[in-house]
Chains A and B, each alone.
Chain A
Amino acid sequence: MSDAKILDAKIPEGPVQDKWTSHKFNMKLVNPANKRKHTVIVVGTGLAGASAAASLGELGYNVLNFCIQDSPRRAHSVAAQGGINAAKNYQNDGDSVYRLFYDTVKGGDFRAREANVHRLAEVSTSIIDQCAAQGVPFAREYGGTLANRSFGGAQVSRTFYARGQTGQQLLLGAYGALMRQVEAGSVKLFPRREMLDLVKVDDLARGIICRNLVSGELERYAADAVLLCTGGYSTVFYLSTNAVNCNATAAWRCYKRGAYFANPCFTQIHPTCIPRMGETQSKLTLMSESLRNDGRVWVPLKKGDDRKPSDIPENERDYYLETKYPAFGNLVPRDIASRSAKEVCDEGRGVGPTGYAVYLDFGDAINRLGKEAIRQRYGNLFSMYHEITGDDPYETPMMIYPAPHYTMGGLWVDYNLMTTVDGLFALGEANFSDHGSNRLGASALMQGLSDGYFVIPYTLGNYIASTSMKAVDTDAPEFDQVEKEVQEYIDNLMSMDGDKTADEYHRQLGNIMIDKVGMSRDTEGLNWALEEIPKIREEFWKNLRIPGDAKDYNKELEKAGRVADFLELGELMARDALERNESCGGHFRVESQDEEGEAKRDDENYCHAAAWRYLGLGDTPELVKEPLHYENVIPSTRSYK
C-alpha cells in the first residue's frame, strides 16, 4: 500500500474569476513587525527569483538570495527575446483576462490547472504596470503609450516588448529592485553558490547546503522557508537554447528529498534555431519565431538531393507546412512546426552537412517586398545568422532545425506554489503548473514575474503565519547529516580518476534524449532509452575524470554534479513519456495519432498531472496523479489545418 501523499492542489472554492481574490483575503498575514524575524532562502536570481527576493525584502523579510553566476543579472531569463503577454486590452482588440486565460489553457492542450492559469492572466496586467514603473524601456507608440504586437499566433496584440531584449530588460528591472533591497539590508546576496541539497527539520524545509564555487567549501544556511527559482532542465538534451550552466541540480536534489516531480516529459522544442554544425558544438542559437511570418519552409522532394538550394527547381521542392496545413501554413504552432521538420529529415530529405536541417527561404519575400523591407524587419537576425553560419540569408535560404528550449514540467506545486515538502516552494520554470503540455510564446516571462512579484508574497506569508516551527540554526544535527552526505557525494565524484569527461557523458545522454525522448516518442525508443541511460550512468560513476581539487574553483566538478543528476532525470523523463500513452502539446507519442498523423489526446485516461515520487536510487519511482478538472474551458481538439 502506498504511503504517498494525496495530491491536494488546495484550489480555492468558488468561480474561477473569484478564487484568487477570495484566497488573498482568506490567507493569514504576518505582522509587519514580525516579518524581519523570518528568514527566507531564495535560490536563483532570474525573473522568478529576483522578483521574489526583492518583493519579500520590501515586505521586511530577511532574505538570503543565492545564484551560481558571478552576478544576479546573468540568470538565463536575460536571454528571452520576444516579449511578455498581458491582458491589458490596450489595443481595443477584444482581449481580456478571460481570453488570456482561455488561450493559455487551450494552448497548453488541456494539461494545465485552470485556477493557476486564471490567476496568471489576472496578475499579468499588474506585471506590466510594475515593470513600466521600474523604468523598463518598453517599446512605445508616438503618443507615448505602450506598443504591442501579436506573438506566437495569438489573435490579439497583447505582447509587450523591449526590442528583441525583453527578457534582459525585465530582468534588469527585477535585478535593480533586488539590488535596492541589498542596499537596504533586507536581502543578502550569495553569488557563485550552488545549492546541492535541501535540509529538512521535522519534515519542514529549513535550509540548504551550498558549494561555494570559488573556494569549493560547503556552506550551510538555515531559514523558515526555501524558494526554488532555478529554471528549467532543457540542458538535459546537452544541446539546447539554454545557457550552458543551466541545470536541474537544485530541483533534482529536492526531488530526492521528497518533492514530487511533475510531467517531466513535457518539454518544448523550438522550431527556428540554427542547426547543429559540428561535434564540438556547445549550444544552439534561437532565431526569433517572427521569421516564419515571411520565410517559407521547404526541403527537396527527393531524398539525398545534395544540390545547392538555388539549383533545385520549384517543382522539386516540398513546402511541406503549406501543403499539410493550408490554413496556417508556415505559422503553425511550435510543436507542429518542430515535429514536421523532424519527420522530413528522418525521411532523408533534410539538408545541410548533417542532414538535420530544413530551409527557411526568404527568396519570395525579397522578390515581393524588396531587400530593404526584409532588412528592416529582420536585419539583426539575418546578420546574427550570417555571423554564426557564414551564409548570407539574403542570397541563400537559411537553414533551421528545432532545438530544446523550455520545460513545462517541473516540481509539483499546489495553488500556493508549495511543493510536496512543506516549506519548499517552486517558482517560475522550476515548477510545472501553468503551461500544461505546451507553452505559448511570451508566457514564460509572465509566469516568472507573476510567481515572484504577485503570488509568493501572499502565499509565503500564509505559510509562515499558519505553521508552527521551532527555531533552527545551522548547528542542528540535520545540517550535519545532510552536509556529510553531500561531502561523500563530492568525494565519490572526485575519486574515480577515469578516462572520460563530464561533457562526454553529457553529450552521450543528450544524443539519446533528443533522439528517443525528443520531438516524437514511441514505446520501443522509450524502452531502449530506459535501458541505455542507466548503463551510461553506471559507466559515469566508474570512469569519470575530474581534474583538480574539490576545494578550489573547479568547473569540471560543477559540470559533473549536474550531469550526474541529468543521468537520473533523463530516465524519469523517458519513464513519464512512456507512461503517458497519448499525444498532447509538445509530447507526441507515435502510437497516439489520428488518420492524418495529427496528435491525438486521450482525455479519458490522461487528463491529469503525472507527479513522480522518489523511492530511492535504482527503484522505480511511484506515479501519483493529480486529476485535472476543466470547468470553464471545455477540452477540444486543437486543429490547424
Chain B
Amino acid sequence: MKINLKIWRQSGPDAPGRLVDYSIDGIDQSQSFLEMLDTLNEKIIKDGGEPVAFESDCREGICGNCGLVINGVAHGEKGACTTCEVRMRSFQDGDTVTIEPFRAKAFPIIKDLVINRSAFDRIMAKGGYVAVNTGSAQDANLLPVHKDAAEAAMDSAACIGCGACVAACPNASASLFVGAKISQYTWLPQGQVERSTRALGMVKQMDAEGFGDCSNHAECEAACPKEISIANISRMRREYTKALFAEQGS
C-alpha cells in the first residue's frame, strides 16, 4: 500500500523545524510502523538524502526508547501500546500520517524525532529506589509482602519511562511517571523508611526540570502504553502532602 507522511524535521536543538512531506509505496500490512520508517529511510539514503532520525531499541514494547506522536497521539491512536508495537495493518492504502516528536519543554529535541529525556533520570536519582547497599539484605522471605500489595506495586512498576504521559499532557506534566514510581514503594514494606524523602525529592526535582503540574485531564493514562492508572497521581499528591507536614513537624 501507499502511505503519505508528514514528518517533523529539525536538524538540531536550536534549528527551526518543519513538517516535510514524503510518500512511500509498497508498504506491506505485516510491517511494523517503525519498519515502514526504516523502509522510508533506506529510500531517502539511496536518493542521496539524510534519513529521518528516530529512536527505537527493543522493538517489543518494553525498553521505552521509541516514542512518536502519530496523527497527534503519543504512540498512536490504538492505545495501550508503544510506537514499535503499532502495525501498518491499522492503516489504509493512501492514508496520510503525521509524525512528530514527543513535545515538552523538559524534553528538548536533539534531532528530528529524537528527544532528550534525561530529566527522567535526574528525577529517579532523587529517590526512585530503596537505599540498600549490595550485600546488606536479609533473607528475602523474612519480609513478607501481601500478594495484593505485590500485585499493586507491580502495576505501578510496569512503567517503561517512555514519556508518553508527558507528551500527552496539556501541561507537559510528568506526574504519572513520578506517581508510578512513588506508588510502587508505598505498597511495599521495603519502601517505608524513605517514604517522605522520596516523595519530596522526586516531586521537587520534577518541578525543577520544568514539567508542568497535573490538572486532572487524564490524557496521560489514555496514552500510557502500560495502562498505568492516574490513581498513581492522587497517591503521589497524598504522599507529597503528608511528607510536607512531616517535614514541617520535624
Contacts and interface: CB of A to CB of B under 8 A. Distances in A.
Contacts of A556: 45, 51
B42 interface: yes
Interface string A187-215: 00101000000000000000000000010
B60 interface: yes
Contacts of B31: 278, 280-281
A524 interface: no
Interface string B119-130: 011001110111
B130 A79 contact: no
A70 B55 contact: yes
Contact of B57 (A69, A128, A129): A69
A140 B191 CA distance: 17
Contacts of B145: 140, 144
A278 B28 contact: yes
Contact of A545 (B45, B121, B158): B45
A280 B153 contact: no
A71 B42 contact: no
A283 B38 contact: no
Given A74-B63, A282-B34, A176 B124 contact: yes
Contacts of B143: 132-133
Residue from A133, A388, A552 having most chain B Cβ neighbours under 10 A:
A133
Given A69-B57, A134-B190, A281 B35 contact: yes
B158 A51 contact: no
A306 interface: no
A76 B35 contact: no
Given A280-B39, A282-B59, A548 B124 contact: no
A138 interface: yes
A552 B50 CA distance: 12
Given A70-B55, A277-B30, A132 B137 contact: yes
Contacts of A79: 58, 60, 62-63
A594 interface: no
Contacts of A131: 140
Given A137-B154, A245-B57, A282 B51 contact: no
Contacts of B97: none
A548 B146 CA distance: 55
Contacts of A503: 38, 42
B22 to A, nearest CB: 15
B42 A501 contact: yes
Contacts of A55: 133-134
Interface in A443-488: 453-454, 457
Interface residues of A, number: 80
A179 B128 contact: yes
B147 A76 contact: no
A23 B234 CA distance: 51
B117 interface: yes
Nearest to B150: A140
B57 A553 contact: no
Interface string A592-636: 000000000000000000000000000000000000000000000
Given A140-B146, A144-B146, A163 B124 contact: no
B81 to A, nearest CB: 7
Contacts of A88: 140-141
B189 to A, nearest CB: 9
A280 B28 contact: yes
B156 to A, nearest CB: 8
Interface stretch (A164-172, A320-328, A434-442): A164-172
A135 B127 CA distance: 13
A408 B118 CA distance: 33
19 contacts: A55-B133, A71-B121, A73-B121, A76-B57, A79-B60, A130-B134, A130-B137, A134-B132, A135-B188, A137-B153, A146-B140, A177-B129, A183-B126, A281-B31, A387-B85, A453-B134, A547-B44, A547-B48, A547-B49
Given A71-B121, A244-B58, 4 more contacts: A135-B185, A162-B154, A168-B160, A278-B31
Interface of B: 28-32, 34-35, 38-39, 42, 44-46, 48-51, 53, 55-60, 62-65, 81, 85, 87, 89, 110-111, 114, 116-118, 120-121, 124-126, 128-141, 143-147, 150-151, 153-154, 157-158, 160-161, 184-185, 187-188, 190-191
